[in-house]
C-alpha cells in the first residue's frame, strides 16, 4: 500500500513538473493613469509604421556580418535587430508566445502546438489591435491560429 502511494505521488510530481497548469494572467493591461504622467508626451509614437520581421532559427552572426549589405543597414539606423533565445522545449507556437506575450515555454506547449487556438489573454498584438492599429501578416500560419481575428490582411504558409 505504501509503495502504491509513493508510486502515485511520483506520478503526480512528474505531471506537475512537466505539464504544469498554465498560469497565464487572465487580464489585459490597462493604460497608464493619466493623472500620474503626461502620457501623450511620454508615450508619443516615434514612427508611424512598424515592420516586424521574425526570422526563425537564424544565426545572429550571419545577420551582423559585413558581407550582408541589406541587414547591415540595421546598424545605420534604418531598423534594429534583437536576438531572442527561447529555451527548450521549443517549437513554433511557444516561440511566438514567448516573443509576443512573454510566456515561458512549457512541455505541454509542444502538444498544443498542433492544435493551437486563440489562448493568449494579453499580448503586443492585442494591445495594437485595441489601439486601432491595422496589422497585416505574412508567414507561418501558427500566428493565424493564435490570433484568428486580429489581422487586417494575412496570408499563412
Partner 1 sequence: VDHNVTRNVLKEIEVKDWDIMILHYLG
Q: Which of 21, 49, 76, 88 binds partner 1 (CB under 8 A)?
A: 49
User: Residue 157, interface with partner 1 (CB under 8 A)?
Assistant: yes
Contacts of 145 (CB under 8 A, 6+ apart): 93, 116, 117, 118
User: Residue 135, interface with partner 1 (CB under 8 A)?
Assistant: yes
User: Residue 59, interface with partner 1 (CB under 8 A)?
Assistant: yes
User: Residue 128, interface with partner 1 (CB under 8 A)?
Assistant: yes
Q: How far apart are CA 46 and CA 130, in angstroms?
A: 19
> What b/e readout covers 40-53, taking b as 16+ CB neighbours within 10 angstroms?
eeeeeeeeeeeeee
Contact map string, positions 79 to 98, toward partner 1, x by CB under 8 A: -----------------x--
8 vs 55, which CB is nearer to partner 1?
Answer: 55
Query: What are the backbone angles phi and psi of residue 20, rounded to the nearest 5°?
Result: -70, 155
User: Residue 139, interface with partner 1 (CB under 8 A)?
Assistant: yes
Q: Cell 499563412 identifies what position?
A: 156
User: Residue 68, interface with partner 1 (CB under 8 A)?
Assistant: no
Number of residues that bind partner 1 (CB under 8 A): 27
Query: What are the backbone angles phi and psi of residue 155, rounded to the nearest 5°?
Result: -150, 120
Binding-site ranges for partner 1 (CB under 8 A): 48-59, 96, 128, 133-140, 143, 152-153, 155, 157
Amino acid at each position: 500500500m505504501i509503495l502504491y502511494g509513493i508510486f502515485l505521488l511520483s506520478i503526480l510530481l512528474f505531471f506537475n513538473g512537466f505539464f504544469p497548469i498554465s498560469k497565464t494572467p487572465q487580464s489585459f493591461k490597462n493604460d497608464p493613469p493619466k493623472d500620474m504622467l503626461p502620457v501623450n508626451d511620454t508615450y508619443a509614437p516615434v514612427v508611424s509604421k512598424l515592420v516586424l520581421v521574425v526570422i526563425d532559427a537564424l544565426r545572429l552572426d550571419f545577420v551582423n556580418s559585413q558581407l550582408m549589405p541589406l541587414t547591415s543597414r540595421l546598424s545605420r539606423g534604418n531598423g534594429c535587430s534583437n536576438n531572442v533565445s527561447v529555451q527548450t522545449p521549443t517549437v513554433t507556437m511557444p516561440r511566438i508566445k514567448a516573443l509576443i506575450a512573454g510566456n515561458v515555454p512549457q512541455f505541454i506547449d509542444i502538444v498544443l502546438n498542433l492544435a493551437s487556438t486563440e489562448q493568449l489573454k494579453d499580448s503586443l498584438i492585442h494591445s495594437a489591435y485595441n489601439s486601432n492599429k491595422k496589422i497585416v501578416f505574412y508567414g507561418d500560419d501558427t500566428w493565424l491560429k493564435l490570433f484568428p481575428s486580429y489581422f487586417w490582411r494575412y496570408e499563412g504558409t
